[in-house]
Structure 1
Amino acid sequence: MTIGRRTLAEAYPVLGLRIVAGPIELAGMDDGTLIALADLAAEGIHGDDEMPFQQPWTRTPAERFHLHYLQHHWGVRSRFAPGAWDLDLAVRYEGELAGTQGVSTRDFLATRTGETGSWLGRRFQGRGIGTLMRQALCAFLFDHLDFEQITSSAFDDNPASNQVSQKVGYRLNGVQRVPRNETWVSSNEYLLTPDALVRGPQLTVTGAEPVRKLIGLE
């Protein structure tokens, strides 16, 4: 059997995905983008007395921070399969690398749902970028990947993340106790359906069809 040659984006179509919505671009992350994102994250995402993530990856010691970041995303690539996948995309605002926006799902072909997650470098926060990038991803998931609902969560003491979910149209879907720093904190659980999505700028999408095939939709 002759298989033939492939480019990286042909072998792993996430690398060829590009979503443009006004000043926002979401795109697959090659290794050069990953190391640039690690640099951006190392500049700071939150204050020293804050922790918006359930997994406190931003507290990785400096000497291992970049390697840890790369290894996480290399692992995401290696595990990508129709039964379980994470779609992590680099966010650029007016052409400048600003953070990441992604979705994680298991048994998607049955559930048609997934959980969004994101981060922004501190110098990009407070400018409405978090709302725009979530709107862009959710519109893409509903319109191009056949999602029927999308979930998200945010600690009660993370008002910015809670506000983004509310602005995009998610509705509160319960509150959970989750562990953090050897104690517990309230996590607000949100649910979004296509009819409730507050849309942002119109999308221009390239590379969606190969991703659909990769996750088993074709």
Structure 2
Amino acid sequence: MLADLWPLYRLALVTPRLELRLPREDELAALAVLAGRGVHPPGERPFLTPWTDGGPEDRARSVLRGHWQRLAAWDEAAWALGLGVFRRGSGEPIGLVAAWASDFAVVREVATWSWLGLEFHSRGYGTEARAALLTLAFDHLGASAALSAVFRDNHASQAVSRKLGYAHDGITVDARDGEALVSDRLRLTADRWRTVDHPAVTVTGLAACRSWFGL
């Protein structure tokens, strides 16, 4: 089985409404098509990397390339875990979330990003999916902090971060479409995480791949 050679395929994070796991090829294709239909309203650009530029096929292929690149480049010293987000019961794909880290065994910090298909916005799925990633990071991998950098005009991501307890940790300045744009740098500590209400999350399949995270 593929999971015997690549045990990350056994890892699953289950919340009251969602299941997060590595997508199989047909599921990956469905996620790519979903991204092609749109992950944010027209006229917005909530991501620094302009992967949502171009037409539906360009966006879909960018999802495929990104997923394959994360798998191929995996290393315990510098890993990026990208998980498909599926609705429980139906298995309907609704988006993708990722956590990544460098020298995690020493630094104990992760960063995250995510996108949801436009039709699944404003239902609380983004908060639930990020809470699942944070549960994995803090409660099962022993992270000391989770980081995020969010454009100030990305109101949805800002709201999710506030709800989950992130605190302001400075700013970064990047070039976006020819102008300097300020992002808020946010940090959530393990101690703060333990005081925040969040959905219950069940993590399975981690034992077989703990060493893949440098543990």
TM-score (norm: length of structure 2): 0.93
Hey, what's the Cα distance between the residues in 1 that align with 2:13 and 2:130?
A: 12
Hey, what's the Cα distance between the residues in 2 that align with 1:122 and 1:65?
A: 13
In 2, are the aligned partners of 1:93 and 1:129 still within 8 Å (CA)?
Answer: no
- State the partner residue of 1:178: 174
Q: Give the counterpart of 1:74 among 64, 68, 71.
A: 68
Q: CA deviation at 1:60?
A: 3.7
- State the partner residue of 2:213: 215
**Same amino acid, percent of matched pairs:** 37
Give structure 1 regions of 4+ aligned residues with deviation exceeding 4 angstroms. Answer: none
- State the partner residue of 1:3: none
Aligned partner letter, 2:9: L
- State the partner residue of 1:153: 149
- State the partner residue of 2:204: 206
2:113 is equivalent to residue 117 of structure 1: yes
Secondary structure at the counterpart of residue 68 of structure 2: helix
In 2, are the aligned partners of 1:139 and 1:199 still within 8 Å (CA)?
Answer: no
- State the partner residue of 1:188: 184
- For structure 1, the residue ranges without an aligned partner over 5 or more in a row are 1-6
Hey, what's the Cα distance between the residues in 2 that align with 1:60 and 1:38?
A: 14
In 1, are the aligned partners of 2:146 and 2:189 still within 8 Å (CA)?
Answer: yes
- State the partner residue of 1:16: 10
- State the partner residue of 2:46: 52
Hey, what's the Cα distance between the residues in 1 that align with 2:119 and 2:10?
A: 28
Aligned partner letter, 1:15: Y
In 1, are the aligned partners of 2:41 and 2:118 still within 8 Å (CA)?
Answer: no
Instruction: Check 1:63–1:19 CA distance in 2 against 1; reply closer, same or farther (3 A cut).
Output: closer
Instruction: Check 1:76–1:120 CA distance in 2 against 1; reply closer, same or farther (3 A cut).
Output: same
Instruction: Check 1:63–1:26 CA distance in 2 against 1; reply closer, same or farther (3 A cut).
Output: closer
Secondary structure at the counterpart of residue 26 of structure 1: strand
Hey, what's the Cα distance between the residues in 2 that align with 1:191 and 1:63?
A: 35
Q: CA deviation at 1:62?
A: 4.1
In 2, are the aligned partners of 1:135 and 1:199 still within 8 Å (CA)?
Answer: no
Q: CA deviation at 1:88?
A: 0.7
Hey, what's the Cα distance between the residues in 2 that align with 1:63 and 1:90?
A: 19
- For structure 2, the residue ranges without an aligned partner over 5 or more in a row are none
Q: CA deviation at 1:89?
A: 0.6
2:97 is equivalent to residue 101 of structure 1: yes
Q: Give the counterpart of 2:161 among 162, 165, 178.
A: 165
Secondary structure at the counterpart of residue 52 of structure 2: helix
1:143-181 Cα distance to aligned partner (Å, 9 max, x none): 111111110111001111001001011111111211111
2:30 is equivalent to residue 36 of structure 1: yes
Q: CA deviation at 1:63?
A: 4.5
Hey, what's the Cα distance between the residues in 1 that align with 2:52 and 2:172?
A: 23
Hey, what's the Cα distance between the residues in 2 that align with 1:124 and 1:56?
A: 21
Hey, what's the Cα distance between the residues in 2 that align with 1:131 and 1:25?
A: 13
In 1, are the aligned partners of 2:7 and 2:208 still within 8 Å (CA)?
Answer: yes
Hey, what's the Cα distance between the residues in 2 that align with 1:103 and 1:211?
A: 15
In 1, are the aligned partners of 2:33 and 2:56 still within 8 Å (CA)?
Answer: no
2:132 is equivalent to residue 131 of structure 1: no
1:80-128 Cα distance to aligned partner (Å, 9 max, x none): 0111110111112343211011111111111111111000111110111
Q: CA deviation at 1:184?
A: 1.5
